[in-house]
Amino acid sequence: MPVTPFPRPKSMSTTTGSGPAPGATVRVVLDPAVPAQGFRVQTSAEGITVTHADAAGLRYGLATLDQLRAGVDFATTSYDISDHPDFPVRGFMLDVSRDRVPTRRTLARWVEVMELSRINAFELYTEHTYAFRGEQAVWQDASPLTAADLQWLDALCASKGIELVCNQNTLGHMERFLKHPQHAKRAENEDGFTMRGLHRPPSTVEPTPENAEFVQGLLEDVVPNFRTRRINIGADEPWELGTGKSAQRAEEVGLGTVYFEYVTSVMQPWLDRGYAVEFWADVFGDHPELMDKVPAGAIPVVWQYDSPQLLAEVLDADGGQVQEWRAQGLDVTALRDGFRDRAKLLLEAGIPFWVAPGTSSWNSLLGRWENAVGNMVDAAEVGLENSAQGFLNTAWGDHGHWDPPSVAFGPALFGGAVSWSLEDNRDVDVAAVLSDALLMDPTGITGDVLVRSGRVTAQLGAPLLNASPLVLVLREPDQLKPWAVPTPEALAAAHATLTSCLDDLRAAEPACADGDVVLRELAQALRLSDLAVRALQVRADDGSFEPVAAGRLLVELEALLEEQRTCWLLRSRPGGLSDSLAEFGLRHALLRSGS
C-alpha cells in the first residue's frame, strides 16, 4: 500500500507495479522555478529524483523520500510528489517561564517533533528563566537556562533547518522581576492591581526610558546566544498600563500612544541592526491610531487561543462568563469571529501580521483537542486569506504548567501540518502520526489515547474559554462558578472515558526513547483528571466536601502529587516544581473539609 507522507503533500500520484531498485541512487536537481522551501520527489524503475530550489526544499524532499522508503511497497510503487508550504515561517513557541523549565533531553525531543512536522522556527518564551548577568536574585530558584544551554540548542536547531528565536517579554508579565526590592520601583503600580475581583502583584513595568534601557540590557545579554536575526519582545497583556504612574500621560496622549512609544523604543535598536522584531498585537490591535506607525521590520503577531466553535458555544450558553464580559463592556457578539475579530483593525488597515493560535494544553491536564484543532484551522484560514508570512503555534504554561509535554505533541504536529498545507491536512489522522512516526507504537494505542483523552474537556459539556473544569476544581474548588460545573451525567461519561483510556494504555508499546516517560506521565494526567471528576461529583456548591469523602480524596491526591513530582523531574528541571505543586488548591480545601 502506498505511503502518504506527513504532512500530507499538495500533490501526490502513485503507480503500482514497479519502483526503484534496491540501492538506487538519488539524482538531485536544482530548479529555481520550484517554490521556496518546495520540492518534487519522483521515484520509478528508472531511479529517484529530488528537485528543489533551496536548501530547505532539499531537506524536506529528502525527508519525504525517507518516509516513502519506510513503506514495505517502496520497491513496487512509483511516486510523484510535489509540495511547498503555505506559510514561509511555521513556528512553535514553548513557555519555559511558568515553572516548567525543560531539561536538554526534553528540548531535544521537541526539536524532533518540530522536524517531523516541518516547523522551521522555535521560540522559547522567557521571563525570568534565563541566567541573566547580575540578576541572580531573580532566577536563582528557577533552574534557569544558561548561555551554554541556548548555544547548544541553537546549534541543534540549525542542524535540523530550524531557527531558534529569542522570545523575551519586556513590558507585561514582569512580576518575577518586580517582586524583588531592586526592581520594585520599576512597576507601573507598586502596590499591584485588581483584576476580576482578585488582587494581584505588580506585573507591568512603567513605560519609561529607564525601563526601556533596563529591558534592553536583558536582551543584550541573551540575544547573542541566537544566530538568527529575529527576536520576539513580547509586550503582551500589560494589565496595569495607564492606571498608575503612566495614567497622566495616557490621559494626555492616549493609552495606545503610551504603549507604542515604549514598544518602539525597545524595538528600534534591534531594527536598526537589521533584526526583524515580533511583538504581540493584543494592545496594538485595539488602537486604530497606531495602524500607520509600525516601523519597517516590526511584525505584529495576532494571538487568539479559542476556536470560533468554542466561542459560539460559550456565547450560546450565555452563562456567568458571558455576563462578566458584558459587565466589562466587551463586544461579546464579535467574539464569534475568532481571528477575524482579533485582527479586525489590522485587516482593515492592510497591516501585515502573523497569526498565533495555541495547543490548548495549558490550564488542562490532557489538553482540549477540539478547541486546539479549530483554533489552528481558524488561524491558518485567516492568515492565508491575508497573505500572512508567519504561523506561530504556542504552548503556554499558565498556573504551574501541570500538563506533561507529551499532551502537546499532537497539537504541535497538527499545527505544523496545517501551517505547511492547510487544505491537505485539515483532517490528518494525528493519532496515527503520533503512534507511527513519533512514538513508534505498533499497537497505535498511545497516539489514540493522547487524542481521545484530549476530547474529555469537550465531553464535559461545560464550555469554558482558556481552561478545563477539571483543572479549575483542582486549583480553586471554592472559586468554581456554577456555570463551570458539568452535569452528573457528563461527569459519569468523562469518568468512563478516562478509565477506558487508562485500561487501554496498559497494552501500549511505544518504542521511542522516551516511550516509558510518555506512558508514565500520560497515566498520571489521566489519574489526576479522574480524581478531578470525582471531586466535582462530591463537591458542595460552596466548594466544601463532606468529611469522609474529603479524607478519601486527600489520600489519593497526596499520592498523585508525589507522582506528579516524579513525572516532572523526568522532563523538567527542579526549579519551579514547588511553585507548581502549590497551585493545587484542592489539597487545602480537602484538609479544611476533613478537619
- Kindly report, residue by residue over 296-315, the tens digit of the pLDDT: 999 999 999 999 999 999 88
Kindly list the domain boundaries of the chain, sorted by start residue.
11-83, 89-305+333-438, 446-594
> Which among 272, 255, 277, 276 is positioned nearest to 207, based on CA atoms?
255
Could you tell me the three cell numbers for 375? 483554533
Given a cut of 70, is residue 457 above it in pLDDT? yes
Identify the band that residue 196 occupies on the pLDDT scale cut at 50, 70 and 90.
confident
The number of residues in the chain equals 595
The pTM of this model reads 0.97
CATH, domain range 89-305+333-438: 3.20.20.80
How confident is the model at residue 558, as a pLDDT?
97
Which three-class secondary structure string do you get for 357-413? CECCCCCCCCCCHHHHHHHHHHHHHHHHHCCCCEEEEEECCCCCCCCCHHHHHHHHH
CATH 2.60.40.10 is right for the domain spanning 11-83: no
pLDDT per residue over 514-545, tens digit each? 999 999 999 999 999 999 999 999 999 888 99
Residue 7 backbone phi and psi in degrees, to 5: -60, 155
Identify the band that residue 3 occupies on the pLDDT scale cut at 50, 70 and 90.
very high
Establish whether domains 11-83 and 89-305+333-438 are of one fold.
Answer: no
